[in-house]
């Protein structure tokens, strides 16, 4: 396992809430970070600037993670600029909501393309290119257990992410690479807050014993653990939701 100061992480969705917090948190451990973005280059550049101004190492790389050629460019950039890849943190995803009876199948297909195919593409590349001692951290969601209405397409995609994660952990036997999924609960990110009334947000926040939404930084702490010292956690879906029932 490479030392923390020589480790390199790719964070997909690194311009978003949990992705950005994860990139910043990993950088505090001395890990070089490739900050991936799809459309928000400005936000990704801000994340890189925050890391580098703090003495860390980071670059921004754009692309569609469900496109194997564009996703490959992430790994190429990590190897070119930092010498290799040790950690994949795959936070990128989309979450359009609708009751199943009203669900547009084109929207369903888009969710599966980004969330399921995207996971399979980056996990495939990570399985080929991560160094020994590495970690693959996918993102599921607590909605797979909480089953809230309107989340059918999203929950289906995250159930698939969990299956991919557990199978890959076993396929990488002997490689000294851990593969886990983090399943956040309701977290105060733009993706989660969009379209929700203050009353609904308060109701959701009160569904866990802490009486608040999670923060991206709460989730980033779990990422840092699995990316670093959590070597005996493997093939698991880790629920990081404050005890939401």
Catalytic residues: 154
Cα dihedral sign, 25-237-12-39? negative
CB-based contact 140:165 (threshold 8 Å):
yes
User: What pairing do the DSSP bridges indicate for beta strands 8-12 and 32-37?
Assistant: parallel
Q: Which strand (E) or helix (H) includes residue 21?
A: helix 17-28
CA distance 122 to 164: 11
Map residue 85 onto helix, strand or coil: coil
Residue 14: Cβ-neighbour burial (10 angstroms; 0-12, 13-18, 19+):
buried
User: What pairing do the DSSP bridges indicate for beta strands 58-62 and 8-12?
Assistant: unpaired
Question: Which of 224, 160, 161, 201 has its CA nearest to residue 18?
Answer: 224
């Amino acid at each position: 396992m490479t030392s923390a100061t020589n480790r390199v992480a790719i964070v997909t969705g690194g311009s978003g809430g949990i992705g950005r917090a994860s990139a910043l948190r990993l950088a505090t451990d001395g890990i070089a970070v490739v900050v991936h973005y799809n459309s928000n280059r400005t936000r990704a550049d801000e994340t890189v600037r925050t890391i580098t101004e703090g003495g860390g190492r980071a670059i921004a790389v754009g692309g569609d993670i469900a496109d194997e050629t564009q996703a490959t460019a992430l790994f190429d950039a990590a190897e070119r600029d930092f010498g290799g890849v040790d950690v994949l943190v795959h936070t990128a995803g989309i979450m359009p909501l609708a009751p199943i009876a009203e669900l547009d199948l084109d929207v369903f297909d888009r969710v599966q393309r980004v969330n399921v195919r995207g996971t399979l593409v980056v996990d495939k590349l990570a399985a080929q290119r991560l160094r020994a001692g590495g970690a693959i951290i996918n993102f599921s969601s607590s909605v797979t257990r909480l089953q809230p209405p309107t989340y059918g397409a999203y929950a289906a995609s995250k159930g698939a992410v969990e299956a991919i994660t557990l199978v890959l952990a076993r396929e990488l036997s002997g490689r000294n690479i851990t593969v886990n999924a983090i399943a956040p609960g309701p977290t105060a990110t733009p993706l989660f807050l969009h379209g929700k009334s203050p009353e609904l947000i308060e109701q959701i926040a009160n569904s866990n014993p802490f009486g608040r939404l999670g923060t991206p930084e709460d989730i980033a702490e779990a990422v840092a653990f699995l990316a670093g010292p959590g070597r005996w956690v493997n093939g698991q879906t880790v629920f990081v939701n404050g005890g939401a029932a």
